[in-house]
Amino acid sequence: MDETRVLTRNIREGREPVWRAEYEAAGGWEAFKKTLAELKPTEVGELVKEAGLRGRGGAGFPTGMKWSFMPRFEERPEERPAHVYLVINADEMEPGTFKDRLLMEGDPHQLIEAMAISSYAIGADIAYVFLRGEYVECQRRLQKAIDEATEAGYLGNDILGSGYNLKIYLHMSAGRYICGEESALLSALEGRRAVPRHKPPFPAASGLFGQPTTVNNVETICNVPHIVSNGADWYKQLGAHKDGGTKLFGASGHVNRPGLAEMPLGTRMGDLLEHFGGIREGRRLKALLPGGGSTPLLTADHLDTPMDYEGVGAAGSRLGTGTMVVMDETTPIVGVLKNLEHFYAQESCGWCTPCRDGLPWVERILTNLEAGKGHPGDIELLELHTKLLGPGKTFCAHAPGAMGPLESGLKYFRDELAALIPDDSDTLSLTEPANTASNSQV
């Protein structure tokens, strides 16, 4: 199955990215020029809304609608706050996810142009890229692209004589998975502890430094120049789904050719696995995480699922980041779940009790099951945790996300997990000391 290369059209494996001269020769920065010359800020937002672009970072929220929440000051400039911000979430700590890194390293000018157009659309005068701390090569290439764009007059004051001002900065994260949650990201960007905030107020009303702010994902925003250049109808016909567009799909784990591919949104799951060479060594698929570590497991029974928001949702999971973690028939499911829960237990910010204390408890039970030291009632106790740590029971979505793989693992592989409990084991002692490396976060 052939790729549909829109976001990845300039990316050349194993080579330096296209820099400004080559990017411009391929039509780069023309969408930004068109935006400034022909479109009002609100018209850009309406175009993105008409195209049906939805967030590619995991939540899938309509981008144009998100932009529409931002207050407008064109008719009342005297009420404009000190700054309006666009913040790009490039933290990308979701297990199994590496799509934004490809875009930033492979075509940095595309992201900078997309940020310039998007900032204009929401009225932002300052934009940040919140980068995962390990992405030092992304930082180097993005900074060079920012410098080149500033030198060419695409960033700065009175850009191209339009009267529009914009500055873009990079911020290297100090780490933590929770920084992927937009309000925790804003707290970290302000130099404070990365914990989620109460909502309301939402970032559009009071975000970074208390000013109006929109947070978007890297892949999401990279679609914007192409929508401006080619129109909403063109964008919608790219996909096999009503929302349209392409999606960067990935596969890691037990496939023959791990990597990334840009395909129409709504491509069938089985076709994607075939594109990545199928399951290694001729084995069968046991399960996969369709969109990163926090998405519920799917099985070989779901190969006909269209990889779009509604299709994956109807199958009982979430599209998430669209990067599949694939497991063949030899994979013990208890090990998969233990590794995931270990990660989420470590990455809890510790702000609320169910997440801080519940996730290490879940990890402990799974560790004991894997070691053959399980007890009768362990499966039921795990099932109880999926409810106690589920949606609405914690301050943010961290623990509910961690419960997605566990709940689906119990649904599809309950007998396999129950078989790990020795027949002669005693009943579970709730006072038995933990024997894992997990620690509660403080």
- Residue 186: is it exposed, middle or buried by C-beta count within 10 angstroms (0-12/13-18/19+)? buried
Degrees to nearest 5, angle at CA 35 with 116 and 83:
40
| pLDDT at residue number 302 | 97
- Residue 50: is it exposed, middle or buried by C-beta count within 10 angstroms (0-12/13-18/19+)? middle
The position carrying tokens 């609405």 is 392
| pLDDT at residue number 425 | 63
- How high is the mean pLDDT of the chain? 92
Nearest to 291, CA basis, from 309, 276, 268, 270: 309
pLDDT exceeds 60 at position 183: yes
CA distance 333 to 405: 10
| pLDDT at residue number 427 | 54
DSSP state of 19: -
Q: What is the pLDDT of residues 379-393, one digit of tens each?
A: 999 999 999 999 999
- Ordered by where they begin, the domains of the chain are 20-236 (3.40.50.11540), 239-328 (3.10.20.600), 333-418 (1.20.1440.230)
Measured CA to CA in angstroms, residue 241 lies from 54, 57, 282, 319 at distances of 12, 18, 31, 13
Q: What is the pLDDT of residues 305-314, one digit of tens each?
A: 999 999 999 9
pLDDT exceeds 90 at position 27: yes
pLDDT exceeds 80 at position 117: yes
Q: Give yes or no for a cis peptide into 201 (omega within 30° of 0).
A: yes
Q: What is the CA radius of gyration of the chain?
A: 23
Query: Residue 327: enclosing H or E segment and its boundaries?
Result: strand 323-328
Q: What is the pLDDT of residues 396-430, one digit of tens each?
A: 999 999 999 999 999 999 999 999 999 866 554 44
Q: Which of 59-63, 426-430, 434-438 has the highest mean pLDDT?
A: 59-63
Query: Which two structure tokens, joined as six digits, stand for 224?
Result: 């914007």
Pairing of strands 259-264, 246-253: antiparallel
CA distance 347 to 344: 5
Q: 167 or 199: which carries more pLDDT confidence?
A: 167
Instruction: Report pTM.
Output: 0.92
